[in-house]
Structures are given as C-alpha cells and as structure tokens.
Chains A and B, each alone.
Chain A
C-alpha cells in the first residue's frame, strides 16, 4: 500500500491549520449549553431579500445544539486525524475544502429555520459527500459509490422537497420555529399521508434505512476520515435529525409509528446480522452504523402509553444517538489507524496488534465496551434506556425483541473489532506494522475516554444535553433521573443475557454465522442490484430515445423545426383569432415593386438551379434586396447590418462549399418529398406573413420610442438612437447577445477541432444519404 502512511511526506499545513474552524465553533456551541439547557431557544436572522421578506434564519434549541456539538466536536478530532492520515496524498487542499464545506452544510441542516433552507443545506451535504466519497476518483468503485450515494440520497431529497412544499402550504408557514411553537399537528390534514410519505422518503434514504441502505456500506471506499465523519456521526444522522425535528409536527399518528418502527426494526436486525458476517473491518462498522440508524428511527417512532412512555423513547433515541456518535467515530478512526499502519482491513489477516498499536488498542477497547453497553460506560445507560422504553411502549414485545436481537449482534460486532485484530498471536500484519504518531491515536482514545466519563457523570450529560434535546421531540417527564444502577430487575437480566449471548456468538462465530452469512451473500434481490438495473435501464432508454430522435441528417432536423414552427404558430393564430388581413393595400412605390420582382426572381432561381454557387448568390441577392427595402423605409442601421450579414453569409457558405464533396445528384430527392418540403416552406412563409400583419394591425406603442428619442442626447450623449439603445440603454441585452456569440464560436471550435477526418467523411455520407462506402465518398471529396 504505497499510498498509505508516508511519514516523510510534507505535513498538510492547510488541513492541520483548518482544525481551528471546527474547534472554535465547538467552543462557541459549548458556551451556549447553559442557556439552551435552561430552556431558551436562540435564533439569528440574516436579511437576504428584505423587500420580499426572505431571510436566512437559524435557531438553536436542545436538539440542534446536541447535533451541532457532535458535528463540530467530532469534526475537530476528524480534521486533526485526517491531517496525519491523509499526509502525502494528492489534492489535499480540495479535500480540506470539501471536508470543511461538508461540516458547514451539516451545521446548516441542523440549525436552519426555514424548511427550504434546510433542504438546500441537505443537498449541499449530499454534494460535498459525493466529492468526498469520490476522493479516489481514479478508482471505478469510488466513482460508482459516490454517484450511488448522490443519486439515492438525491432522489429521496427531491421527494422530501415536495413533502416540505406540501407541508409549508398546508401549515401556512415554512418556518420550523413557527411550526414547533404553534404546536401545529398536521395529523388531521387531508394530505397528511402524502406529506409523511415524501418526508420519510428523504429521511430514510439519507439515513440508509432498509432496503435503500446499500449506498452506505458501498461508500466505505472513501478515505477513513471521511467514513468516520460522514458515515458514523453526521451525514447519515441528518435523516434521524429530520425525523426528530418533525416528530411534534408529523408524529404521534399510527402511520408514523408503524412506518418508523417497522422500517427501523427491520433495518436494525438485518444490518446487525450483516455486520457480523463481514470480513472487512470498515464494512463491519458500516453495517453497525446502519443498525444504529435503524434503532434511532425505531425509537423515534415508538408510541407510548398515555403520553409517558413516548417521551422516554425520545430520551432513549437521543441518548443512543450521542452514545453511538462517540463510540462509532472512535472505532472508525481506530480501524483507519490499523489500515494506515498495516495496509489491510481484512479481519482474518490481523492479530496481536496490541503490541504495536498500544494507545489505539486502548481507545478501541474503551469504545467497543461502550458499544457493547457495559457499565460504567455511557453505552450501558443508553442500552438500558432502549430496553426500558421499548418494554414500556405500546409495541412492547416486538420492539423489545428487535432491539435485543440487534444488541446481541452488536456485542458480537464490538468484539470482532476490538478483540480479533489486537489479541491472539502476532500475525504477519502486526510484524509489518509500523508504529503511528500520536495524531492517529489521540482521537479514538479521547472519544473512548469521553464515553467512560459520560457514563460516570450521567446526570450532567443528561441534564445539559440529552434531556433538552429530547424535550424538543416530545415532552419529557419532570423528574427523570438516569443512572447506572436500577437494581436487579428483568431488564438487567436481559442486559446480562445480551452480553452472554453476544459473547457466545462471537466465540462460536464460524459455526453460528456461516449460515446467515451465506444466505446474505446469496440474496437474489438486493438494493444494490436494483440500483444497477435501474441505472442500466435509464441508459438503455436514453440510448433508444437518442437513436429515434437523432438521425444525424441535417435535412430532417430543419424539416422538423420548420414544420413545428408552422404548425404551432399557425394553430395559435387560428385559436386566438389573430388573423387580420389589411383592409386596404398600403401604397407601394415603383422602386419597391421593382425590389419585390428582384426578390421573387431570385427565390425562383434558388429553387430551380442545380448549381450550388448560383443558389447561394441568389440567396444573397434576396438578402440584399431586403436590406434595400430597409434603406428605403428609413432604417439605415438595420439596412447596413443586413447587407453586411448577407455578404458574410455568402462568403462563409462559399468556403463551406469548397470543402463539400459533389453529391448534388445523390441528394436529389423524390418528387413527393420535394412537394412536402415545398408545402412546409410555403406554410412557414404564410404563417410569418400573417404574424407580421397581426403585429402591424395594432396601433404601434410609441412610449418607448418617444422616451429613447428624447433621452438619446441628454442621457446617452449620442445622436444615433439605435446605437445608443444598443450600447447604453439596453446594454445588458447586448451583453447577453455577445456572450452567446462567444459561446457559439467556442462551440464551433469544439465541434470542428475534435472531429477527425474519418468522422467527417461519415458525416458527409450521412448528409448525402449514402450507405457507408468510405472509398467512394473520399474519391468524390477529392474530386471536389
């Protein structure tokens, strides 16, 4: 693994210095804890379009503060960790920028007040995560995973946007603060099912719920700091955050509970099982993350009895989110350190690493013990809460079974990560391993210790963070005292059984896990495959459509454009009754009649001649005659421009003609086709004439003309009104036009320079309607 661990490489100064940003934000959010935990809601507003009443507003309550602290706190450790982990890798400045941009977008999601702003930040997290997952863009797997994450979460986000719009229109406000303060419940709204379904689609795809969880394990191709940050503690939690946020507005109904508990439970159990059958350490962690997301979703949906148990379920969900963020980020960083040091993440190839990576081992062990839910760690408190609130809920038996089954397997997964690589005999990987610098183990160690400290000092953590956050989801009981010890009861027995069974499964894992492992590997339908099939289908559909629509023959395109023009404009004229034939023929001078005669003769020449050069010249005569009409009618500027444009057209077409092969006989079309083309040409001419007559039949609007005439000299310092309009009064229009001109020139360059000689021949043959006979076309081209 040459790309990993180049201690001699230059320190990525930018990445290391940018730790300051999350650290400063973290300190600031910490300073807000006392105010928020006393029940205050802080809010800021930045005027954006004040005339329209549009402002960018943010607010912080218990829930957003908890998430903000996780985002910035873990962000600080991750950026610091990445500054060593990513050392010597390419494109670090952009990596740094993406990582920080991701962090800020994530903060936007949890702090935004306006639903639409929340959506924008939500999409920004998707976009930045696309860039981060695709960091190793030379690898096809990384590109696929990045695109998959973007598309899956993006489709969900679009559904969510639709849900937000429905919600905002129904509730009459897009402000979350107003929605929450007004105690608006949309449960009785007629379109409640639609709103719920659409919002859940966004939350479930972002938070990787079964069956759309597949993008998250695939996203593990990202560098480990990215996985540790996005796919454990932050981005995937956005969906959970949204559900928690929406709980007072959308929650409390049967549809809400059944959907959330159903999806959450299936996700938790399925992914817990999937996690212990993986052999890649990061995959193990990825699936336990999916399990944690499922658990959070399930508990956010858990209904209570008479309004008491619901609130403990909310406390359990929030506590679990915090617990999970602490241990999972630590474990991801630890696995990254193992890979950095040994070059592999394959569990089977590790053993005895505790002798080499001592501090990493300690951090991993602390985090894993918290993950397994052993006292006195915060993980224990979290799991006890999950058990008790599941037990008390209306879905008691089912919820308790699901969470216990998932917890057993999580104990096994924790042991897989913390025991197998570090204990046992030294394997080759441990002998090859190089010790790592402190930057790579301080993060896991700190987070592991934090799990222990939070477990011991349960009361301040709960009163400062967890309870205020839970209060934003549902009313919490007034005297809620969490603790490590609740006496001997059924739940403690269940905990003991969880550890015992989990350890047993770990001990006998080759026997027990072989069957579910092979079943999971052989599932006939997986989300991943459905995704592939859908992408394939889209590609095939667009190919078929392109083949049908794009003949590559210029004549057909022009035919289609003109036929559409004649039909649509003609139909509009008839439908709007806008055909006005002039009641009297306006006076036409002899000179003008002469010009009409010239034009008619030239048009006939164009149609009848078989010489292309003559046709082009005759077309030029038509244009010149028209410019003379302009001159006679008092528009010298237009006449001048028209005349020169006509000249240039003749010149350019003449140059093109010199390059074209002589295929005049080959493009001679059958008589029926010529009649059809003629009919369309006459139709376009007729329709255009009718439009002009309709326009001129109305009395002309002279206000603008008068304004321009009176202001040209005092305002524009010019006597040529046309020019003053072009370069001063309406200069923005002109700017747009010349921009188009530059773009067109660039497009011509791109089209012609990229075209190879072979393709040019093919193109000409297509134009000539020939079959592919390269020799003949080349010969005729040389002849021309």
Chain B
C-alpha cells in the first residue's frame, strides 16, 4: 500500500482536503456542507495519512489525543448552547446572532464547529486504535 506515488500524493492532498473540509464546514449554513460532512472529509485526510505513515507519526501530527478532540468538540457544542441561556434567558441551544462588518456570526456556527471536532476526533480514534492501539499491554505468555 505504501507506495511512492501514494506517499507523494498524500503530501499535497492532505492539506488540500483539510482546507476543503473547513470550507465545507463554513459554507454549510447556506449551501450543501456543514460540520458533519466537513468533519468526515477531514477524517479522510487523516486516514489517508494513516496509510502512508505510522500511527505514531499521525498521533504526533495531530498533537492531541483524538478522543480529547472529540470531547472538546462536545464541550464546545454544549457551551454554544449555554450562550442563549446566559445572555438572553432563552432555552438551551437557542441560536444567538451578531453581525460584524456584514458577516453574520452565530452560536450555530460554534455548534457546527463542535460537531466537526467530534466527528474528526471520533473517526480518527477508530482508525488509529484499529491501526495501532495507543498503549498495548505486554503480550501474555501462552498458558
């Protein structure tokens, strides 16, 4: 699997796909896309990297434990839901919007980013754990 062609293509594709995934996330509110799809696209980029490199290299590349990324995403989604409660006494997860320089920003975007992180974190956890568990206990002797 680990051929020269795949390795060199991945080098380019990895960044491209990541950028594309973020673009998909951001455009999602008005056009096809969103956090879920964006997260899946980003996971594909990472999975591609898993093919050409060691799981260890990928772990180093993403810096954090992907499970923690997923958990952070969940926390972000929850926090985005609290904004409405704290600022306006609205129910949990009510969208709050501000417009800065013609760009509308809202808590749903924050929520969507949370979804993105959860998806990337979870899929990367699956892939990396299957490829090579983070810490394998020493093999039992055959009894």
Q: Is B22 in the interface zone, CB < 8 Å from A?
A: no
Q: Is A662 in the interface zone, CB < 8 Å from B?
A: no
Shortest C-beta distance, B54 to chain A (Å), equals: 13
The answer to whether B130 and A752 touch across the interface, beta carbons within 8 angstroms, is: yes
Query: Closest B-chain residue to A719, C-beta based?
Result: B30
The answer to whether A636 and B118 touch across the interface, beta carbons within 8 angstroms, is: no
Give the B interface residue count (CB, 8 A). Answer: 61
Q: Is B142 in the interface zone, CB < 8 Å from A?
A: yes
The answer to whether A648 and B40 touch across the interface, beta carbons within 8 angstroms, is: yes
| Docked CA distance A22–B44 (Å) | 61
Contact with A741, one of B28, B78, B119, B129 (Cβ below 8 angstroms)? B119
- With a cutoff of 8 Å between Cβ atoms, the chain B residues found around residue A755 in the complex are 133
Contact with A757, one of B131, B134, B136 (Cβ below 8 angstroms)? B136
Shortest C-beta distance, B16 to chain A (Å), equals: 15
Give the A interface residue count (CB, 8 A). Answer: 47
Whether A742 contacts B126 in the complex (CB less than 8 A), given A655-B50, A718-B30, A724-B29, comes out as no
Query: Closest A-chain residue to B47, C-beta based?
Result: A651
- With a cutoff of 8 Å between Cβ atoms, the chain A residues found around residue B30 in the complex are 718-720
- With a cutoff of 8 Å between Cβ atoms, the chain A residues found around residue B127 in the complex are 651-652, 655
- With a cutoff of 8 Å between Cβ atoms, the chain A residues found around residue B133 in the complex are 752-753, 755
Shortest C-beta distance, B128 to chain A (Å), equals: 10
The answer to whether B121 and A637 touch across the interface, beta carbons within 8 angstroms, is: no
Shortest C-beta distance, A346 to chain B (Å), equals: 45
Q: Name, among B30, B36, B134, B135, the residue most crowded by chain A CB atoms within 10 Å (CB to CB).
A: B36
Whether A652 contacts B47 in the complex (CB less than 8 A), given A738-B115, A741-B70, comes out as yes
The answer to whether B70 and A727 touch across the interface, beta carbons within 8 angstroms, is: no
The answer to whether B130 and A652 touch across the interface, beta carbons within 8 angstroms, is: yes
Q: Name, among A641, A726, A727, A755, the residue most crowded by chain B CB atoms within 10 Å (CB to CB).
A: A727
Whether A637 contacts B34 in the complex (CB less than 8 A), given A720-B29, A749-B134, comes out as yes
Mask: chain A, 631-659; 1 = CB below 8 Å from B; 0 = not: 00000110011001101100110011011
Mask: chain B, 16-33; 1 = CB below 8 Å from A; 0 = not: 000000000000111111
- With a cutoff of 8 Å between Cβ atoms, the chain B residues found around residue A758 in the complex are 139-142
Contact with A756, one of B109, B114, B139 (Cβ below 8 angstroms)? B139
The answer to whether A723 and B28 touch across the interface, beta carbons within 8 angstroms, is: yes
- With a cutoff of 8 Å between Cβ atoms, the chain A residues found around residue B92 in the complex are 732
Whether A756 contacts B140 in the complex (CB less than 8 A), given A644-B41, A731-B81, comes out as yes
Whether A726 contacts B34 in the complex (CB less than 8 A), given A651-B47, A757-B139, comes out as yes
- With a cutoff of 8 Å between Cβ atoms, the chain B residues found around residue A636 in the complex are 32
Whether A648 contacts B47 in the complex (CB less than 8 A), given A735-B77, A742-B122, A748-B129, comes out as yes
Whether A756 contacts B137 in the complex (CB less than 8 A), given A717-B104, A727-B108, comes out as yes
The answer to whether B130 and A723 touch across the interface, beta carbons within 8 angstroms, is: no
Contact with A648, one of B1, B44, B95, B138 (Cβ below 8 angstroms)? B44
- With a cutoff of 8 Å between Cβ atoms, the chain B residues found around residue A551 in the complex are none
The answer to whether B112 and A727 touch across the interface, beta carbons within 8 angstroms, is: yes
Q: Is A774 in the interface zone, CB < 8 Å from B?
A: yes
Shortest C-beta distance, B107 to chain A (Å), equals: 9
Shortest C-beta distance, A756 to chain B (Å), equals: 5
Q: Is A746 in the interface zone, CB < 8 Å from B?
A: yes
B interface residue numbers (CB < 8 A to A) = 1, 28-37, 40-41, 43-44, 47-48, 50-51, 66-67, 70-71, 73-74, 77-78, 81, 92-93, 95, 97, 104, 106, 108-109, 111-112, 114-115, 118-119, 121-123, 125-127, 129-131, 133-142
User: Can you list 7 A-B contacts (CB < 8 A)?
Assistant: A637-B37, A655-B127, A716-B108, A718-B30, A720-B29, A745-B67, A752-B129
Closest CB pairs A-B (n = 4): A757-B139, A758-B140, A718-B29, A745-B122
